Amino acid sequence: MSAIDYFEKIPNNVDLANDKTLQRALEHWQPRFLDWWREMGPNDFASVDVYLRTAVGVDAQGWAHYGTVKMPEYRWGIFLADPIADRAIGFGDSFGQPVWQQVPGEFRSQFRRLIVTQGDTEPASVEQQHRLGHTCPSLYDLRNLFQINVEEGRHLWAMVYILHAYFGRDGREEAEELLARHSGDVDKPRILGTFNEPIEDWLSFFCFCYFTDRDGKFQLKSLAESSFDPLARTCRFMLTEEAHHMFVGETGLGRIVRRTLEVMKQTGSDGPEAVRRQGAVDLPLLQRYLNFWFSSSLDLFGSEVSSNAATTFANGIKGRPDETTQYQDHVCADSTFEIEVPDGKGGVMKDTSPMRNAMNEVLRDAYIRDCEIGLRRWNMQIKRAGHNFELKLPSSRFRRAIGAWANIPTDLEGHPVSREEHDRRMPGWLPSASDRDYVKSLMQRVVEPGKMAAWIAPPERGINNLSLDYEYVRLD
């Protein structure tokens, strides 16, 4: 295992002390990062003590340390997973050749584009969640929000390290830009659509963690296959932290379902009004939030047919998740993939794309299957409680803004419909203004240790074997 130097200004396992130029460049960026954190992060909580996990190593057994920290003092560091001896390129035209320790000149701009896009999402999510701390449903949840925020900050560090270390002046300029764009900013928005959507309530937050962080899992897994070894190692370690973010989403939504079912049992009614009278989230309302965040997150995979995707696969830049273990053909020079596209006459038709061009769709399909797992679990809870209601993922054709289905009006099942019908039925498909007002009315902050807001059930256990009434955040 590579040692992590905690006495350094920037904890790292990349031997920063022996690269003074890089160290100085990163130490120059560090105060800018902290200024950004103070301005755009959970700034109203700068002085509170939070029970946080900090990465202290990269091996599976003991990579994290838990302790009480004030967030601006969190040790954001640079950690790469240990190298794999004799690792060879796992896909594309250079399959089987040794991986690269430097970026080949001819692929520089493609790598930079992907690394910047990945890096951009990390601070974006912190900005989106900027004010959520004020309406937390419990101290446990508040701590989880802050844990996610500091780790997204560390993931920004991960990408900034790669930009500084391997992309020279261009990389340093891009690192500055990562702090200059802001989520939802009219003039300088974040790069990808979902990261400009406001997250103003905890139901949206849990949906974001469930759907959008899961895109992070798939994109990081694809980049973890990259032939550029430092990028692959960086992403492998990021995935370790990412798992907790999806856990927060999945258990958050599961706890909401559990609470709603309790209320339905108590009142003996499954009517949305009865559920709302008890201050819980009715299942149709939850479905509309799922529709919103799922469809938005689907766009994050890019177009069904993409020359960028073909090039990055051919060049060994970005593979498929678990490329080595999940696929037989790692070159995909002659294979094809069938996709469904609009037929231009208000219907759907099958089309065949070269496999390399369809890599975004291959990933999106795998992502959708992964998203279904949580829904199956929640539907089981609903069924066991004796209710005839099923949460469903909408079709991947519904409400798309990117790719073949962009701006094509369809219903939830993906059947093309007229614009008029689409607009008329939309309030039943996505959260309406009154849904959002209702959810907002639930967002009353609960900060007594062990207590939960009325719209969410308690988690099964606390953090790191601590009890649920542990004071995870000391607000004083």
Q: Residue from 23, 147, 226, 306 that binds ligand BYC (CB under 6 A)?
A: 306
Is 113 an interacting residue with respect to ligand BYC (CB under 6 A)? yes
Is 215 an interacting residue with respect to ligand BYC (CB under 6 A)? yes
Nearest residue to ligand BYC, scored by beta-carbon proximity: 302
Is 183 an interacting residue with respect to ligand BYC (CB under 6 A)? no
Query: What is the x/- site pattern for ligand BYC, positions 349-368, by CB under 6 A?
Result: -----------x--------
Identify residues 431-470 at the interface with ligand BYC (CB under 6 A): none
- What is the nearest approach in angstroms of ligand BYC to the Cβ of residue 402? 5
Stretch that binds ligand BYC, among 102-110, 306-314, 379-387, 440-448 (CB under 6 A): 306-314
Stretch that binds ligand BYC, among 63-71, 257-265, 293-301, 448-456 (CB under 6 A): 293-301
CA distance 223 to 375: 27
Q: Residue from 2, 43, 278, 308 that binds ligand BYC (CB under 6 A)?
A: 308
Stretch that binds ligand BYC, among 112-120, 163-171, 365-373, 433-441 (CB under 6 A): 112-120
Q: Residue from 13, 23, 94, 125 that binds ligand BYC (CB under 6 A)?
A: 125
Q: Residue from 141, 151, 152, 282 that binds ligand BYC (CB under 6 A)?
A: 152
Stretch that binds ligand BYC, among 55-63, 214-222, 367-375, 386-394 (CB under 6 A): 214-222
- Residues at the site binding ligand BYC, with contacts judged by CB under 6 A: 113-114, 117-118, 121-122, 125, 152, 192-193, 212-213, 215-216, 219, 299-303, 306, 308-309, 318, 360, 402
